[in-house]
A and B are shown apart, each in its own frame.
Chain A
């Protein structure tokens, strides 16, 4: 099915370990986003990308890095995981970046940092 695919779906890390979450979309969307979802806080934007080779910070970027080497892929990295990064991470993509544009979301990646 066309859409946004996230891998892995689940991961448990120890404090200080590193990992990368992969997001792939096959809709030829220019814009891609990483959100984190925490109970009672909705979704908060970590980083986003407006095209291949570009990235930008969202509202909660600290502790994360991203890369967009290919248009269809958007990687989210944690260099030194902390318990505060325990969350569900969602990738999304959209055709454009207007305030009215619809985002297509992946199924999420649940990360636990011990």
Chain B
């Protein structure tokens, strides 16, 4: 069955430090992969997506993600975190499941940023 695993529930980093959020997926076909961010009290905003081609994908707000088929991973990275990056981050895979196309979300990783 298709699934998305985000191993880290909470991560705390210092402002200016680098960040990597992990995401592993299980999907038999070529996946469509997404990272969304949810700021407190807000809806989900798309950070970036991978469909095909270059495995390193650039997104908004200085984020990037790398698709590694051999590891079934799509980790999100940022070289220098800003206080405004504190939010919850969701990895998702687009899948055909149960007779329809849908997004399967991971449980999310909550990021805290220390000044």
- Cβ contact within 8 Å between B94 and A90: no
For B33, give the chain A residue with the smallest CB separation: A100
Residues in B whose Cβ lies below 8 Å from that of A45 = 102-103
User: Could you say which interface size class chain B belongs to?
Assistant: 20 to 34
Segment 38-67 of A: residues with Cβ below 8 Å from B: 40-45, 48, 56, 58-59
Known contacts A40-B108, A101-B94, A106-B43; 11 further A-B pairs (Cβ under 8 A): A42-B4, A43-B44, A48-B102, A97-B100, A99-B32, A99-B102, A102-B49, A103-B46, A105-B36, A105-B45, A107-B43
Q: Which chain A residue shows the least CB distance to B98?
A: A59
Please tell me if the beta carbons of B42 and A98 are within 8 angstroms of each other in the complex.
no
Is B49's CB under 8 angstroms from A105's CB? no
Question: Nearest Cβ in chain A — how far from B93, in angstroms?
Answer: 8
Indicate if B41 sits at the interface (CB-CB under 8 A). yes
User: Which residues of A have CB within 8 Å of B90?
Assistant: 42-43
Q: Which residues of A contact B103 (CB under 8 A)?
A: 43, 45, 103
Of residues 56 through 72 on chain B, the ones whose CB sits less than 8 Å from some CB of chain A are: none
Q: Is B11 an interface residue (CB 8 A)?
A: no
Contacts of B105 in A (CB 8 A): 42-44
**Complex CA distance for A108 and B43, rounded to whole angstroms:** 6
* 28 residue pairs A–B, Cβ–Cβ below 8 Å: A40-B9, A40-B108, A41-B107, A42-B4, A42-B90, A42-B105, A42-B106, A42-B107, A43-B44, A45-B103, A48-B100, A48-B102, A59-B98, A90-B43, A90-B44, A97-B100, A97-B101, A99-B94, A99-B101, A99-B102, A102-B46, A103-B44, A103-B103, A105-B43, A105-B44, A107-B41, A107-B42, A108-B43
A contact residues vs B (CB 8 Å cutoff)? 4, 40-45, 48, 56, 58-59, 90, 92, 97-103, 105-108
Query: A99 to B107, Cβ gap below 8 A?
Result: no
Q: B95 at interface (Cβ–Cβ under 8 A)?
A: yes
A42 contacts B95, C-beta separation under 8 Å: no
The residue in chain A whose Cβ has the minimal distance to the Cβ of B36 is A105
Task: Point out the residues of chain B lying under 8 angstroms from A102, CB to CB.
Answer: 34, 46, 49
Q: Are B4 and A100 in contact (CB under 8 A)?
A: no
